[in-house]
Amino acid sequence: MTPQDRFIFVTGGARSGKSTFAERLAAQLAEPYGGRVTYLATSETNDVEMTARVTAHRAARPAAWTTVECPLEVPAAVREHASTAATSGSAASGGSAGPPVFLLDCVTFWVTNLLFAGGAFGGSAPPDEGFNYDKDLLPADEERAASARVSAGVGGLLAARAETGATLIAVSNEVGLGVVPEYPLARLYRDQLGWANQRLAAAADRVYFLVAGFPLDVTALAVSPLTQSPLKESDQ
């Protein structure tokens, strides 16, 4: 990581250490400016288990961090809190304002929320028994609308980061490394998260992939498929 790394994308499998690594990065980047980080939380507490998880995560964050609940409007949250975060950091450090530091955790939940922002697929509520939709194909117009919401959200986030000059660490999951999902809705989710991850990673200054707690610097390891040489900035 270098001082020029203003957008860092962190991905990996479940329980691979992504969030812990991202939190350490955020603390390190914010330390010169009073240690203040704005944590963008995208999960929703719809059941007891998720409520317990969110409560535990909140308790573990440093007191100087600010948590912003934004299950859908992540770009708006970046714009709204960028100037406040920079000013607070300047006052706390007693020096000049540094770039506001945002930690988005996570893109995975955000994409889920965007997919369902238009209501349940097929015009009906989720099944009462169990948590799986049936295997019928999804309505094409609803698929297109859901995909458009994800694309617009990702584009809006990249624009907000560029406009504000903020430092952003975004955490996501790699969900496409296993079997092809059985249900159309699950396949739609896998595809949309995969495209979102690709788009965010392509725009990032640094990309890390976590394996069993060990971060791999994907940016340094990346090679061009044609020349087998490291990708140049113009190739990304």
Q: What was the pLDDT predicted at 40?
A: 97
179/150: higher pLDDT: 150
Residue 34 lies in a domain: yes
Q: What percentage of the chain carries pLDDT values higher than 90?
A: 56
Cβ atoms 67, 58 nearer than 8 A:
yes
Kindly report the CATH number assigned to the domain that includes residue 14.
Answer: 3.40.50.300
Domain extent, residue 144, equals: 7-121+133-235
Cβ atoms 75, 140 nearer than 8 A:
no
Give the residue numbers annotated as catalytic, written as ranges.
Answer: 57
Q: What was the pLDDT predicted at 109?
A: 94
Chain centre to alpha carbon of residue 35: 21
Number of domains in the chain: 1
Residue 82 lies in a domain: yes
Using the structure block, give the residue that is written with the tokens 């812990």: 20
Residue 128 lies in a domain: no
Residue 53 lies in a domain: yes
Residue 178 lies in a domain: yes
| Alpha carbon distance 47, 53 (integer Å) | 10
Residue 75 lies in a domain: yes
Residue 1 lies in a domain: no
Q: Which two tokens stand for residue 58?
A: 């909140």
pTM: 0.84
| Alpha carbon distance 149, 144 (integer Å) | 9
Residue 190 lies in a domain: yes
Of the candidates 219, 69, 76, the one whose C-alpha atom is nearest the C-alpha of residue 159 is 76
Q: What was the pLDDT predicted at 78?
A: 97
